[in-house]
């Protein structure tokens, strides 16, 4: 790899000291380093991404890596995450080891791991993608909401809950885990659906095939009033929904390519990251 694209989170590297160290090291090794340009909302300016990028180096926490993965997936650019956050499940490199890690890239001592993504379309509109999860939750005051959930066109269940999480294996250690859902090996091709604070004793998470199509329809409020919801994709870009609206969720054709330079298993990484949590 010779041509690198560096995406930074300025809140994690305020003086850009770490960014400068990495770029200077890359250039000292005869590599090309391009800093990403962001618009006023913090998104990558797509037309400013140069052609021929071999790898994107993402400096930040999991949130930074997740955002970058959604923006770079259409370009199929592999991502190597540098952990400047806390847990950093998606980050492959601790910042103190950056030289050794980059040397492995130069030597071709790495693998590329493909992570599945989801897409969700609300009322037939243009779908949005997510690498972690798509979450449908209530807006406004605290109250339970009725959801009708269909799988491949067949009614699976009516849930009375605070919300519904539809998660990828990558996202299984996020909101899904907090809601009592299972942890899934991240390269698996499955989808996990977990109700949030369900008002039933026998309601559990459900593991589905990645080929299944999930539809969630917002029901009426208990007194017949219109219910208002918010749907988020990886915790951002909230889209309003209301009673009668339906979101169709399926596996995306896009994938996130994560660069792996260690042979440490997912279970070992999870044990290390979650120690004391």
pLDDT for the residue 200: 81
User: Domain residues of the chain, as ranges?
Assistant: 3-110+261-273, 117-254
Would you place residue 265 in the very low, low, confident or very high pLDDT band (cuts 50, 70, 90)?
low
CB atoms within 10 A of CB 117: 22
What's the average model confidence in pLDDT over 17-26? 94
Q: What is the Cα–Cα distance from 160 to 216, expressed in whole angstroms?
A: 12
pLDDT for the residue 269: 67
- The hierarchical CATH code for the domain 117-254 is 2.60.200.30
Over the stretch 115-135, which tens digit does the pLDDT of each residue have?
A: 999 999 999 999 999 999 999
Over the stretch 176-205, which tens digit does the pLDDT of each residue have?
A: 999 999 999 999 999 999 999 988 877 889
More confident call, 124 vs 264: 124
3-110+261-273 and 117-254 share one fold: no
- The hierarchical CATH code for the domain 3-110+261-273 is 3.40.50.10330
Residue 40 pLDDT exceeds 90: no
pLDDT for the residue 94: 86
Share of the chain above pLDDT 70, in %: 93
Residue 101: its H or E element: helix 98-107
Which residue do the tokens 């070992």 mark? 268
What's the average model confidence in pLDDT over 44-50? 92
Active site residues: 62
Would you place residue 224 in the very low, low, confident or very high pLDDT band (cuts 50, 70, 90)?
confident
Main-chain phi, psi angles of 234, to 5 degrees: 55, 35
User: What are the residues facing 149 on neighbouring strands?
Assistant: 157, 216
Dihedral sign of CA atoms 194, 176, 131, 271 in order = negative
């Amino acid at each position: 790899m010779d041509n690198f694209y560096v995406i930074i989170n300025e809140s994690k590297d305020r003086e850009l000291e770490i960014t400068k160290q990495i770029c200077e090291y890359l250039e000292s090794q005869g590599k090309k380093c391009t800093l990403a340009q962001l618009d006023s909302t913090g998104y990558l300016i797509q037309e400013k991404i140069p052609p021929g990028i071999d790898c994107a180096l993402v400096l930040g926490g999991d949130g930074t890596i997740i955002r970058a993965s959604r923006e770079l997936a259409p370009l199929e650019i592999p991502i190597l995450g540098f952990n400047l956050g806390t847990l950093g499940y998606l980050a492959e490199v601790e910042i103190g080891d950056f030289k050794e890690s980059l040397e492995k890239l130069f030597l071709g001592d790495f693998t590329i791991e493909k992570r599945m993504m989801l897409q969700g379309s609300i009322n037939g509109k243009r779908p949005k993608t997510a690498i972690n999860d798509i979450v449908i939750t209530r807006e406004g005051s605290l109250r339970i909401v009725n959801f009708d959930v269909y799988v491949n066109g067949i009614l699976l269940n009516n849930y009375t809950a605070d919300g519904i999480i539809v998660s990828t294996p990558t996202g299984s250690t996020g909101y899904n885990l907090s809601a009592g859902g299972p942890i899934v090996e991240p390269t698996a091709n499955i989808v996990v659906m977990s109700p949030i604070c369900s008002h039933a004793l026998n309601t559990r998470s459900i593991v589905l095939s990645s080929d299944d199509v999930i539809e969630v329809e917002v029901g009426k409020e208990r007194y017949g009033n219109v219910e208002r919801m918010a749907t988020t994709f990886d915790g951002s870009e909230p889209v309003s929904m209301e009673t009668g609206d339906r979101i169709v969720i399926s596996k995306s054709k896009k994938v996130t390519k994560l660069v792996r330079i260690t042979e440490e298993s997912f279970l070992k990484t999870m044990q290390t990251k979650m120690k004391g949590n």
